[in-house]
Structure 1
Amino acid sequence: MPSGLGQLALPNLHGTPPDTADLRRFLIWVPDPRGHRGRRYPMLPLLCAAAAAVLAGARSLVAIGEWTTDAPPSVLRDLGFPPDPLTGIRAVPHPATIRRLLQRLDGDALDAAIGAYLRARTTPPQPPEPSSKPALRAISVDGKTVRGSRTRTTTAIQLLAAMDHHGVVLAQRQIASKSNEIPAFRPLLDVIDLTGSVLTGDALHTQHGHGAYLRRRGAHYLAIVKKNHPGLYAQVRKLPWAEIPVEHQTRDKAHHRDEIRRLKAAAFRHLDYSGALQVVRWRRDLSTGKLTIECVYLITSLDVYDATPAELASWIRGHWGIENLLHHVRDRTFREDDSKIRTGALPRTMTSLRNLAISVFRQNGKTNIAAALRHTTRDYTRPLRALGLT
């Protein structure tokens, strides 16, 4: 990866909003994998065309090629395709040209560029009042298997993503074959400024090394404790929860069920962590009357001065937003698991472009991604405006 990618967002951190909103200022850091001979089209317009097509609802390489082929001359001009020096006509690339480029891209470089672009578009938080504590930013970390990328000789690729609780993907990393998410945790977060953040993850990432790493980076953590850590699980479970009062309670009625959540917090000196949490969920199915009770334990580096019980409950529940706001959308709206793209880096590249589209829509205040795609596809200039290309 080029050394400049480590400083990818720095030139734009203090730029004007139009500067930080221009996707080209970030994609220019992605190295061109093609040889110098035979390059008819610059790489940057091809990447911008692919990103705009996905923002307009393209689910496949064929759809990306069709969107580019049908683009009017003014759109090709805004994308950066050069005119013929003799005729002045802007030639449209063959879909195979785009496919060959995307399948050879450096996935880490592309994800770094997209992540820096999305972080630059994020509105900086307002400075807190002198008498109030600064607000913490909640970030979820979770992995997903791209099922359609499996072949007869290779397993499906796995991708680990970091997403803020508003639905914006901050970073993504591919998990090495014959490995799991744990070794990819630190490299994933190395590119993000974690100061003033609280990280949420599933039980797989409840690791002492992860917690120490986050504290060194100026971040806090909320980690689920399950029986894969039997000693810690027994230690937390045996705390006198019956004697601890309920700190926060909510009751919701949705999806044909009635749900009550109660949170208790404890801090004991003999624990190696600042605090422990117990969340008990009562769920009653309104159609069958069936009642289920679930008890979840967590550990955290937060104390009573860092967060309120209501904030803790919101972050714990908000962690699963990475499933609903990202993974579910990629599967249902973009039909990711049905895709048969398997060649080279294409599965990861297409996932990165889908992350870009979903995150841009979230940043623009769109909650229904399917409706946002339909709206964008009705006008060729809309995806270009959303990406700052025009």
Structure 2
Amino acid sequence: MVPFGRLLDALSEVPDPRRAEGKRYPLAPLLLFTVLALLSGATSYRHIICFLEQRRIVLNALFGCTLKRAPSLNTLRTVLQMLDRDALEEAFRQHARDLLPPAEPGRMPVVALDGKTLKGSFDHLNDQKAAQALSAFASAAAILLAHTEIDVKSNEIPAAQQMIAELGLSGVLFTADALHCQKNL
């Protein structure tokens, strides 16, 4: 459970958008328990709440929390929808960087960049293109370092360049599709 303790620390850096009166459930543990529910197969808010109701006592003991009960479905949905997406993404990126093992002498770590079109995201009715996402995956450590949505009016190339800059990694070999093998980059 050590990596999840580190994730709890990283999620503590996400600003809580609620008013002081509305903070019945501490944000960082609520986010961590939501992540654990999703990793356990929860596919809806209702499934997340069921997971919390069934495992609240064990989770409280493992992570030193004091949730008296699971939040309501509306409370969970509202909290998750109010979050600053960039701050949450940065917390996950920081956690992933902390999990990276140190590079072995004489070997350069490999990070694979890959863009994917999200299945079912094309909207015929509103004439919207399919959503695309770019991911950075540390191969040896099997850790997803970052992901980002590719702008509708752009493509994978500038998104990859921006992601490399944001990751701030040095001494790393980045791999990408042939699309990135262009003369004028």
TM-score range, shorter chain: 0.7 to 0.9
Residues 33 and 104 of structure 1 are in contact (CA less than 8 Å); yes or no, is this contact kept in structure 2? Answer: yes
TM superposition shift of 1:136: 1.3
More strand by share: 1
- Across the two proteins, how many residue pairs are aligned to each other? 181
Tell me: CA distance 1:209–1:137, structure 2 relative to 1, closer, same or farther (3 Å).
Answer: farther
Question: Do the aligned partners of residues 72 and 36 (structure 1) sit closer, same or farther apart at CA in structure 2, a change above 3 Å counting?
Answer: closer
1:144 aligned to which of 96, 113, 116: 116
CA change 1:20–1:93 in 2 (3 A) is closer
Greater C-alpha radius of gyration: 1
Amino acid of the structure 2 residue aligned with 1:196: G
| Superposed CA offset, 1:310-351 (max 9, x none) | xxxxxxxxxxxxxxxxxxxxxxxxxxxxxxxxxxxxxxxxxx
Aligned equivalent of 2:171: 196
Q: CA deviation at 1:101?
A: 2.2
Residue 31 (str. 1) matches residue 15 (str. 2): yes
C-alpha distance in 2 between matches for 1:23 and 1:147: 29
* Pairs within 5 Å for 1:210-249: 210=185
Does 2:72 align with 1:94? Answer: yes
Unaligned runs of 5+ in 1: 1-17, 84-89, 129-133, 211-390
Residues 126-164 of structure 1: per-residue CA shift (max 9 Å, x gap) = 3x3xxxxx2111111111223345554354432111112
CA RMSD between the two structures: 2.7
Question: Partner amino acid for 1:159?
Answer: A
TM-score with structure 1 setting the length: 0.42
Secondary structure of 1:161's match?
strand
Higher relative contact order at CA 8 Å, sep ≥6: structure 1 or structure 2? Answer: 1
Pick aligned residue for 2:6 from 22, 39, 58: 22
2:42 to 39, 58, 79: 58
Output aligned runs, 1:119-130, within 5 Å. Answer: 119-126=97-104, 128=105
Structure 1 counterpart of 2:27, from 20, 25, 43 = 43
Partner of 1:177 in structure 2?
A: 152
Q: Look up the match of 2:54.
A: 70
| Deviation per residue, 1:273-310 (Å, 9 max, x gap) | xxxxxxxxxxxxxxxxxxxxxxxxxxxxxxxxxxxxxx
**TM-score w.r.t. structure 2 length?**
0.81
Q: Distance in 2 between the 1:157 and 1:97 partners? A: 28
